[in-house]
Chains A and B, each alone.
Chain A
Amino acid sequence: MKRNWLQVFTGMLALAFIAAFYSPSQAAPPYPSRDITVIITWGAGGTSDLSCRQLADPMGKILGKTIIPLNVVGGSGAIGMNQGAHARADGYTITFVTSGPTVIQPWVQKVTYDPTKDFIPVAQVFGEYLVVVAKSDAPYKNLKEMADYFKKIGKSPKFATPGAGSNNHLSMVLLSKAIGIPMTHVPFSSSAEGVNAVIGGNVDIASTEPPSAVGPAKEGRAHILAILSASRLDLLREVPTVKEQGYDLVFGGWNGILVPKGTPKEVVDKLADAAKRALENETLIKNSAIVGRPIEFLSGPEFGERIKKELARNGEIIKAEGLAVK
């Protein structure tokens, strides 16, 4: 036992000696010295997966290493978040987050991570906007006409979303308040299913990501009533925002990068810088416009503020809607 202590002591002395002669940058190889894993909290094939892969490619090239996407699926994104939160804080495991598991799921289910305390925000990279779709032969072409129509017939419109407690669901709750009519929620499993339910006349409107609405809108089977962004989207130039239609509502999701707390500052800065520069990549700019997730960069601190603010706001909506975990 005694000898062990002695060995440890000598070892520490030796380390201290070495440390005294080497500057920190020489002690550890400069970051990144090996490939980086980025956790995606959604399955392969979804829009989030696509956006993450589109970003990982140029970002890795800037850092001089490959960024390998890893889909960690389950619990509406909570499983991946948990893994990302408790990964080693060395910058070799980063998490590509969407708003759902960051600012919604902590209210809806018991999660084993704290989105504000367990992570350091690196950067927000994309904005994510939702549109409201109606059937093309519906007797309303904008939100005001829709509100008037349902007031007149004394019914509430039924809206489709990709699930309870989704971004889409929360946005529709807010929209219902903004335009002043009650609405009934019909949960589906994906945005595309919701849009098809609208076209098939099974529900009145659907909240969806732009890619699922573009096809049906182009061929005149569906009509996009509004987009919930602050300004019009390149992909959907002709679709007016909710604000333009006279209602005070902007609701957007986002994608960003988080690292576990305790990650060295220079690593965080390097990642943030690489993300920012990757967003200037032309292929990425083109592709992100096509999938309807425009580039919206926010620095780490700004992104952190946004997370805190939206977490608080969503908590209120979710509790009021009776969706909160008991």
Chain B
Amino acid sequence: MDPIHGLLYGLSRAIEPQMLLMGFLGCLWGTMVGVLPGIGPVAGITILMPFTFGMDLTPAMVMMAGIYYGAMYGGSTTSILVAVPGETSSIVTILDGHQMAKQGRAGAALALSAIGSFIAGTFGILGLTFLAPPLAELAIGFGPPEYFSLALVGLSMSSFLSNASLAKGLAMAVLGLIIGTVGLDIVSGQPRFTFDNMELAGGLDIVSILIGLYGISEVMEMMASKIRPHVRHEKLWNLRRLLPNRTEWKLSIWPMIRGSVMGFFVGALPGAGGTVPSFISYAMEKRMSKTPERFGKGAPEGVAGPESANNSGAVGAMVVLLTLGLPYNVVTAIMLSSMIAHGIFPSPLLMARNPEFFWTVVASMYIGNFLLLILNLPLVGVWSSLLRLPYRWMTVFIILFCIIGVYSIEYRGFDLLIMAVFGGIGYIMKRVDLPAAPLALAMVLGPIMEKSLIQSLIMSDGSPLIFVTRPFAAASMILFFSLMFLPLIQKKLGRRIAPVGEVDM
């Protein structure tokens, strides 16, 4: 079946009542899961699993896909409203989204995020329809040296993630790298920074750290500012105009498009998912902006770009899931094991070998994407009105959500401890004005970087030349060095082009 016929066939299946219902339930549940930070996406899907053993795989998969991208849609809501990231891919949304909410533009930020997600989702699905097999080929050629060099480029973006000084940003990035090494060393299996504690041997759960670092510390800040009432108190919840205004639109449309395209291709790299694209998009928009100083203070581009990128990235991740069998989070891992339990093995030839399955799932994603827009836009008003809650209630609810969210990741009390500790650290960081985003980025990229560095050097028998003899790796290395040293050279020459954060702060 060629893509057009396949898609038409898929659509005819996807609008059958059973499929529609499954898709709708999945989207609804996914949105709820996304909005309540971390609440049981895993539990929600695993409960379905025994039920899918006896059931037809296609409707089950349609539902799980609905949960997956529904959660992506909803995940940004809490980031914007209360600075609690539901998952790693909505961290950067906090930077400007939450600032917009504080300035009374919560509705606009939510709407931009929903519309950006829709555009990106549609683009991603188009990509999945027409580009899945060639992308799978590309992803297979991507080995450890390519990952290492790409992670290095990613890490150099940490300087774009905050308006703090370069030294502060670097310090936080290094701290993130150190936190990322906690656990068992991948080559020798030796424990590092574990203090003979088995819980630490498994490494620190990144979502627990993030919820602590952002969510808990935000609550502490709220409580601290309640003692000394803040001026922003009155202006804060002004929500008369819910939708983005003309300026916000104008600023956001290109970031949405750029985020959608870039997000899909980066998301199609195994392991990138929606998180890495969201960071890249933020850095990219800030770099391209004529007024980068607005970033971190409620720039709509800083919401629209990353939110689009993480959604098309999530669809891109479906490419590697369906063709190479590489899941990037628990939800996709469960989709994979359900497929395998039904004897459908991931393969670049999946669309030829199981066209019924492949096209129905893809077509249901188009429909799901519409359903989500319809579900989410009217909810913008509902969510933003939650901000009218008085502080004292709000803080209680945020803490409650944080606790349930963290606990439901893996049902470990230890994660709650981690969240609390990092809540305290996050608060201190806020007080002394240390940026959290570079830390988060380094924590995400650090383990990937270390692993791929070791793998590359084993592959090359210890020769670092492997990073320059492979074309993609070499190109990334050049990009990295020019990103790092160009600003310095420019400064030396006294030639200041655009006010870029790392030069003049």
Contact = CB atoms under 8 A, between A and B. Distances in A.
A116 interface: no
B336 A283 contact: no
B201 A46 contact: no
Interface in B170-203: 184-191, 196, 198-199, 201-202
A69 B46 contact: yes
A190 interface: yes
B140 A199 contact: yes
Contact of B459 (A46, A54, A186): A186
Interface string A90-104: 000000000000000
Contacts of A215: 325, 345-347
B451 A109 contact: no
Interface residues on B, range: 35 or more
B143 A202 contact: yes
A219 B454 CA distance: 31
**B199, B327, B336, B337, most chain A CB atoms within 10 A:** B337
Nearest to A211: B340
Interface string B445-486: 000000100110011000000000000000000000000000
A201 to B, nearest CB: 8
A164 B187 contact: yes
Contacts of B187: 164, 185, 187
B189 A214 contact: no
Contact of A78 (B42, B46, B201): B201
A298 B89 CA distance: 45
B411 A70 contact: yes
A212 B325 contact: yes
Nearest to B205: A74
Contact of B341 (A54, A164, A188, A200): A54
Interface in B312-362: 324-327, 330-337, 340-343, 345-349
Q: What DSSP secondary structure best describes chain A's contact surface?
A: mixed
A323 B325 contact: no
Given A45-B333, A45-B334, A76-B201, A164 B188 contact: yes
Contact of B451 (A46, A189, A214, A283): A189
B53 A73 contact: no
B412 interface: yes
A245 B124 CA distance: 47
A47 interface: yes
Interface in A42-59: 43-47, 49-50, 53-54, 56-57
B186 A164 contact: yes
Contacts of A72: 410-412
Interface residues on A, range: 35 or more
Given A200-B141, A215-B325, 5 more contacts: A44-B42, A50-B337, A76-B201, A164-B189, A187-B455
Given A79-B199, A192-B325, A45 B140 contact: no
Contact of B202 (A79, A212, A291, A326): A79
B142 interface: yes
B45 interface: yes
Contacts of A43: 330, 333, 410
B222 interface: no
Contacts of A49: 46, 337
B186 A325 contact: no
A71 interface: yes
Interface in B122-165: 139-144
Contacts of B142: 200
B236 interface: no
